[in-house]
Structure 1
Amino acid sequence: MFILHLLAASFAMGAQAQTAKRPLNVFVVDIASAAPALDAFAKESAVFEQALSPSPWCPAARATLLTGQPPEIHGLYVPSGRLPASLPTLAEKLKDAGFDTAAFVEAGAWPTTWGLERGFDVFEVGASTHAVAAWLQGRTGRRFFLYVQRPAEQGVIDQLKALGRWDDTLAALTAACGKSGREGLYEAALRVPLLLRRPPSSGERIDALVGLSDLAPTALEAAGVPAAGMEFSGRSLLPLLKNPSARWREAVFASARSRPGLVLDQRSVRTRRWKLHWYLYKDAFELYDLKNDPGEERDLSRQRPDIVKTLSFQLLRNLELNRPHAPGPDRP
């Protein structure tokens, strides 16, 4: 599902010429039905051309967006999972900093037992764009964090402009996951759009490897809220807005499970050129050269054991750094 995230932060000038925090807004919307708005948004945003989801299952990816942690850490990769009490969410962090917080989502955005509603003053399922607009109208003079899924995003943007808040906004548009007819961690399931607007923005195109775990630290930095007590597997993207060619990460990782159970039995590591898949149930690796085979049709694991060795070491290291959190058994 394609979705829109608008992250907004406002900064007021103080007597000592200091910049105070601006309101932070987050919108989530299905951009498949909003191509014109996406095109307009892209003209004034930085476009990240290699953005990846950590999971082909959208609810698990949304949990990463709201916690800054991969599925192995937040544990929300089965319907019966529960967010650990020790793991704070972006909404909780911003609420503690004095932000008004609200989420307007569709049914099925994530299982209601997960606890991702923590930190939201308002959490509504199936709300209309009118409900979102009404909530925004009540935020005059307030810093806020707003997460919206699927209401017409152009209407929300128009509302922000009418209220004089759009130019106080750091806006990010992304998707929880892609769409693929193949089982596994293939590019079609993991590649997502990611656009970031921080006024003034000039429409840069950025080729760095980035992911959904980067959005929470980006939001906190833009809002001027310290990240103390909240750890991330990602990092703020704001430095890339200043220097799009800055040295960034060398690889991104993804995981999923192929059948009910507690084990994330599908994993992948992706560099700018190579993609290594590991499937426990197959007891096998798959290796693809994304430069020459972007559709991942030709497995080169036998032809390039050197690349398999290098990437499997990175995969093993990532497993060690992100020891899985056990979410509990599936419900029948």
Structure 2
Amino acid sequence: MKLFITLCLIICFYGCNTTKTQNEKSSKKPNIILINIDDLGWKDLGFMGSTYYETPNVDKLANEGLIFINAYAGAANCAPSRACMLSGLNTPKHGIFTVSPSDRGDTKTRKLIPIKNTDHLSDTIYTLPQMLKSAGYITSSFGKWHVGNNPKNQGIDVNIGGSGKGNPGKNGYFSPYSIDFIKNGPKGEYLTDRLTAEAISFIKKHKDTTFFVYLPYYTVHTPIMGKEALIKKFENKIGSNGQDRPDYAAMVASMDENIGRLLNTLKEVGLEENTLIIFTSDNGGIKSISSQEPLRAGKGSYYEGGIRVPLIIKWPKHIKPNTVSYKTVSNLDFYPTLQTITKPSKTAPLLDGIDLSPLFKNQNIVQRDLFFHFPIYLQNYKMGHDQSRDPLFRTRPGSVIISKNWKLHHYFEDDAIELYNLLDDVGEQNNLVKNHPEKALELLNKLNEWRKKTKAPIPQKLNPEYNPYFSNI
């Protein structure tokens, strides 16, 4: 009888523990990998329509996840976009509007004195990595940080290559490197390869924990430097629609190859099923390097080519593969989405984005407007070839609102308005202000209300050095 009771207790003990283990496994929080490519254009990938660039691994990732066609960065260039994503706050709330200084271009061509820029996120801001640490994640960053001098002060446990620097520096992408917090590899080592190797090493080391990998590659930011063999390969390939630079194509190909290495590692260590992957870009591509037609303009502009970006989210068993969403989303939405999924002990006090997780279940999300504020100047890249409002600047001070299919630009220098219907005119060629004055007024009122609510600074002081008759063209 005693033996029978003992056996029953043993069976019960192991049965309960097996059930407990299975429940723990099924309820385990997902590992998270956020891949943020620098200056990659909306149409610089095969699955987005490029016939020149070769991106088989990213295309495969797209087939395995959810593609967003109408995805936007929080801003049109590096630092403000990253600040929006990592803080969950729009630009007026963190004050990073550009990469300093904010008074770009010839002073005689600037009518207003722009708002002074803030370089880095304040230490008082509760960042996305800090939130994930509160949810039990070990956090890491491999690449360009750009919103502070040391990511470890902003929620990152392991940092390789990230600081306040916004580009790979004078030596570019080949070792010896000119960036911080990284040891030089063998001479000629390629930075994109190295950052991926570091990320893979981290994943293997922490495969039994719950981790966050932030992979903000420096690529494809200037200087445009690809591997010689890949450059030669693309020299023999015919480009089209403004996409034909072999050196840039080589950089895109190396990026894609390394995404493949990362995805293969997840499979090898058995983590693919429980890893949520976000793939995006920090802003649009540079127009003179890679055209995003039919989108107008590129990096630094608040026309679609400067702010619309590629976006894929993959999460096996939670997101149906090979699906597409036309909902308007932003990188401001990553923070609230991940916060909902990970359930941290300390949540962010305020976020400007929305939770996208209902879309994963084929449910709807709240219809909202997107706002962009840029009280600064950005000089042109290539005069006459940027598709900007005028040949001198990619951006003059102003704000933008996107409301459903409508988009309104408001410029501060001359109080001018541009109104576009993105459904019919994604290239923003036909200003419809005169055709739809009621819609223009409606959106301008919304924009004014938002600026008042967020205390968005508007430049009003006239520049004494401005000369309306001066031209440096």
Same fold by TM (over 0.5)?
yes
* Maintained 8 Å contact 2:120/2:147: no
Contiguous gaps of at least 5 residues in structure 2: 1-17, 45-52, 101-117, 162-190, 218-254, 288-296, 379-395, 459-473
Bigger radius of gyration, 1 or 2? 2
Q: CA deviation at 1:325?
A: 7.9
Q: Which segments of 5 or more consecutive residues in structure 1 lack a partner in the other structure?
A: 1-11, 327-332
Distance, in Å, in 1 between the alignment partners of 2:327 and 2:402 is: 12
Aligned to 2:36: 28
Q: Call closer, same or farther: CA 1:132–1:17 in 2, change over 3 Å.
A: closer
Checking the alignment, whether the CA contact within 8 Å between 1:24 and 1:146 is kept in structure 2 is: yes
Equivalent of 1:41 in 56, 61, 65: 61
Say if 1:89 and 1:129 are closer, same or farther in 2 by CA, change over 3 A. same
- Offset at residue 124 of structure 1 (A): 1.7
Task: Name the counterpart of 1:136.
Answer: 203
- 1:168 paired with 2:274, answer yes
Deviation of residue 14 (structure 1)?
4.0
Instruction: Answer whether contact 1:76 1:114 (CA < 8 A) is retained.
Output: no
The alpha carbon displacement at 1:321 in A equals: 2.9
Give 1:65 shift.
Answer: 1.1
2:444 matches 1:312:
yes
Give the distance between the partners of 2:346 and 2:372, measured in 1 at CA.
Answer: 24
Aligned length: 310
Compute the displacement of 1:227 (Å).
5.7
Inter-partner Cα distance in structure 2 for 1:65 and 1:284? 29
Whole-angstrom CA distance in 1 between matches of 2:22 and 2:263: 32
Q: Give the Cα–Cα distance (whole angstroms) in 2 for the partners of residues 207 and 13 of structure 1.
A: 41
CA displacement 1:130-176 (0-9 Å, x = unmatched): 11111111103111111012362111111111111111111111111
Corresponding residue of 2:370: 252
CA RMSD of superposed structures (Å)? 2.8
Contact 2:67 2:323 survives alignment (8 Å): yes
1:92 aligns with: 130
The SS at the match of 1:28 is strand
Give 1:16 deviation, angstroms.
9.4
Question: Which AA in structure 2 matches 1:297?
Answer: Q
Distance 1:311 1:253, change over 3 A: same
CA 1:62–1:20 in structure 2 vs 1: closer, same or farther (change >3 Å)? same
Q: What's 1:118 paired with? A: 154
Residues 240-281 of structure 1, C-alpha deviations (whole Å, 9 max, x = no match):
11125x153232112224428xxx932111123211001112
Residue 262 (structure 2) aligns with: 156
Q: What CA distance in whole angstroms lies between the structure 2 residues aligned with 1:320 and 1:308?
A: 18
Identity rate, percent: 24
The separation in 2 between residues aligned to 1:116 and 1:58, in whole angstroms, is 20
**Alignment TM-score, normalising by the size of structure 2:** 0.60
Determine if contact 1:253/1:270 at 8 Å carries over to the other structure: yes
Structure 1 residues 130 and 247: CA distance shift in structure 2, 3 A = closer
1:319 Cα deviation after fit: 1.2
SS in 2 for 1:313: helix
Runs of 4+ aligned residues of structure 1 deviating over 3 Å after TM superposition are: 12-18, 29-34, 111-117, 180-184
Match of 1:329 in 2: none
C-alpha contact 2:207 2:271 (8 A) present in aligned 1: no
The structure that is strand-richer by fraction is 1
The whole-number CA distance in structure 1 between the counterparts of 2:369 and 2:214 is 28
Amino acid at match of 1:91: P
TM-score (norm 1): 0.84
